[in-house]
A and B are shown apart, each in its own frame.
Chain A
């Protein structure tokens, strides 16, 4: 890579290379039994150049093919946009622990046992359940090198356990599931099992959902499916720069309920979303986004920050083969003081929404969402009485987050990158058949 950078410097004022190589092994279960073992080796190199002030970019999976890669990037630079940024001088990075060698030594047999044990426990509870599961481990190395002669490389381990299950009674289908991820090896399935068993217990009876404006509690998964897509778009520095974010002009203003605190945090130890620096080499930092309801920051990469006359927040994300773009690492909403049970017992008639299907399909930018309740329960006189179906829940993220009735005290990691508590709103639109 040093050699390639040396060659690039003859034709480009600035350049950086982003190299990722990984080894991933996964053990997959279908219909209650082991079905596949997969291992995936992959490598990629992405090269960004600035030639005559313009950005060019190319990527390949062939680490040996640097002359062609340079040619492609330089050719693209002829059409590229003017570069406004300076690549970072890589100083010292914070010590963020994201590697555990124990993940590498987990054996395939141990992974198989973990999956079997989990499925077995779920089926002891509900014998007719059909389960799928995925147990995986991933070791990857990231190497970033730039034309200022700076470089950093780090190694990360990720271990994952997820399970999904369905129960079919005549033409009625119930879907439950949960997952967990960490940079440590996941060696027991207790947390995931308990979550799924609780879903099964709550969904045991079918009830008819009411229609109208009702009190609704969104569980952490419910918050992730209904409200988070809008917030991710709204805090993206690019959307703000373009004027497409509804909160883009509201920096320093109170837009949300004063109970609401939201931040982005790539520095939490042993989380798969943590890293010492972003994909451009900018040091990782915790970035507050909402403090006591006030908009405090947006997320930036180098180029977007330069255009907006501000600093990168270390959120330059590039997947394996794209130009950097602002993206959250791990979004966290601060937990409140109320338990989920207390929220439920406060409601005479309402819903608990666990999974909302299709909610991300609407006008996300404007904050509108509307989805079918894939998993949700009806509350009657302060108690969950059963599962609802054929029900749509709709709303607007900004209107709802202006007045939050209560924030739950028990947060949960959802999808590996969101740490969310339950949220309770007093009036949400519910339509049911």
Chain B
């Protein structure tokens, strides 16, 4: 294979020859494999490899970006990126200062899922497939398993040179049940940093998922309207990501004066119990890394502390423009895209309430679990549960069809009036922003209770 480290070292010299305020390059080499089942059959097994890179240049505040699969003539690519940046730039460049870093991180070879034989992976998935089809009334199912290993080289014109590697494993499972023209589905997603053992031993969870899809066929739908809603740690994690996380990404706000006024540090967003954190520094989580894609070390950032806005996520450019410290949150999904401000692992800190405390005084409410997805427009957001139950007289009652919930960031966070003691991180998610999706992130929370939450329904 092509040696991207050698190409990277040569390129370090080349970058110095061009006049720009800043130039960086990424080189990347990846391998991936996928196994897909549809219905009772294995549908496909495939393996892919990719190699590519990019050069990004900053001149007078303007950016040029060139990506490529062909690694020949890299000096032409650098030249083009600088030329483009010149066409754009008409002001002063601002980029937060970061000391040059030279670091070569070892590749974790001890558990590369790519090296596990396909037969072994297939055997595990076959067991899940059998469990699904053992359940009556199942119409079809899909199981998607994927793993990948990626090696990357980052270098810039101030002398940084970083080699990093990451492995990922992900499993998505959906079960579809039908009866008399009704179609219902249930599923789950999970992921890990290449640890295949987390994909194993899920027999119980698979069985419950299949049974739930069938049970949904006879479940009623919630009447649309306002409810007191309790979210489980997984859905509350999606909620914190959509409802607040995206709004703390500084590239949305650094040049938007009105949004800046709304997002001034110290502004109250929630009760004194509410702390929201983003950090890429927790080992083994899918959003973690040592350096971001601008060569900035990862950090732990409090976004909300005791209900007040205290921090936000930055790239080097947004940090400089807002006169704040860089947080190491510039990430790109791969070499085809420039890094932009992204979340990593985002969560609500646990407090003291138990689950029984949280639902105990709810006369009529909705308990929403698990997730299908979520999206935001900054002010308003929606997120959808994979599973839902009514709460009646302080107790869990009948199962209902999965619900879509919606809220407004300026009111919904204030309506959180109970935070549980049972933090869990959800590793199954991927985040989309711009054309870059899905980026590995994780999010989490303890159980939380939200008053006056709008629930869609018939």
Contacts and interface: CB of A to CB of B under 8 A. Distances in A.
A128 B48 CA distance: 48
Contacts of B139: 242-244
B116 to A, nearest CB: 14
A426 interface: no
Most A Cβ at <10 Å: residue of B69, B262, B336, B457: B69
B92 interface: no
A390 B454 contact: yes
Contacts of A73: 47
B320 to A, nearest CB: 15
A44 B48 CA distance: 10
Interface of B: 2, 35, 38-39, 41-52, 62-70, 80, 84-85, 87-88, 118-119, 122, 139-140, 176, 178, 181-185, 224-226, 255-256, 258-259, 262, 336, 338, 372-375, 377-384, 401-404, 406, 408, 410, 452, 454-458
Contacts of B84: 37-39, 108
A394 B458 contact: yes
Contact of B87 (A37, A75, A374, A389): A37
A85 interface: no
Contacts of A382: none
A41 B68 contact: yes
Given A59-B48, A358-B373, A211 B402 contact: no
A216 to B, nearest CB: 14
B377 A374 contact: yes
B62 A35 contact: yes
Contacts of A76: 44-47, 118
A241 B455 CA distance: 34
Contacts of A172: 379
Please list the 9 inter-chain residue pairs (A to B) with the smallest Cβ-Cβ separation, ordered nearest first. Answer: A358-B382, A370-B456, A431-B224, A37-B84, A242-B140, A361-B384, A168-B258, A31-B255, A370-B404
Most A Cβ at <10 Å: residue of B118, B379, B452: B379
Interface string A236-254: 0010011110100000000
Contacts of B182: 366
Interface string A8-41: 0000000000000000000000110011111111
Nearest to B46: A57
A362 B187 CA distance: 12
B401 A363 contact: yes
A38 B338 contact: yes
A96 interface: no
Contacts of B66: 38-41
A296 interface: no
Contact of B45 (A57, A322, A433): A57
B65 A37 contact: yes
A231 interface: no
Nearest to A243: B139
A288 interface: no
Contacts, number: 238
A41 B380 CA distance: 37
Contacts of B224: 211, 370, 392, 394, 429-431
Given A41-B68, A238-B38, A357-B382, A68 B49 contact: yes
A323 B452 CA distance: 46
Contacts of A35: 62-63, 88
Contact of A372 (B64, B88, B226, B380): B380
Given A244-B178, A357-B380, A130 B256 contact: yes
Contacts of B67: 38-42
A345 B358 CA distance: 48
B46 A59 contact: yes
A404 B162 CA distance: 59
A80 to B, nearest CB: 6
Contacts of A38: 64-67, 84, 338
Contacts of A242: 38-39, 139-140, 176
A60 B49 contact: yes
Contacts of A392: 224, 404, 406, 454-456
Contacts of A390: 380, 406, 408, 454
A307 B176 CA distance: 20
A56 B183 contact: no
A244 B183 contact: yes
A55 interface: yes
A363 B402 contact: yes
B45 to A, nearest CB: 4
A171 B262 contact: yes
Given A61-B51, A394-B457, 5 more contacts: A36-B338, A37-B63, A65-B49, A72-B47, A358-B373
A30 B35 CA distance: 40
Given A60-B50, A61-B51, A108-B87, A429 B384 contact: no
A126 interface: no
B48 A79 contact: no
A79 B52 contact: no
A62 to B, nearest CB: 6
B454 A60 contact: no
B65 A36 contact: yes
A67 to B, nearest CB: 12
A57 B44 contact: yes
Contacts of A357: 375, 377, 380-382
A34 B322 CA distance: 20
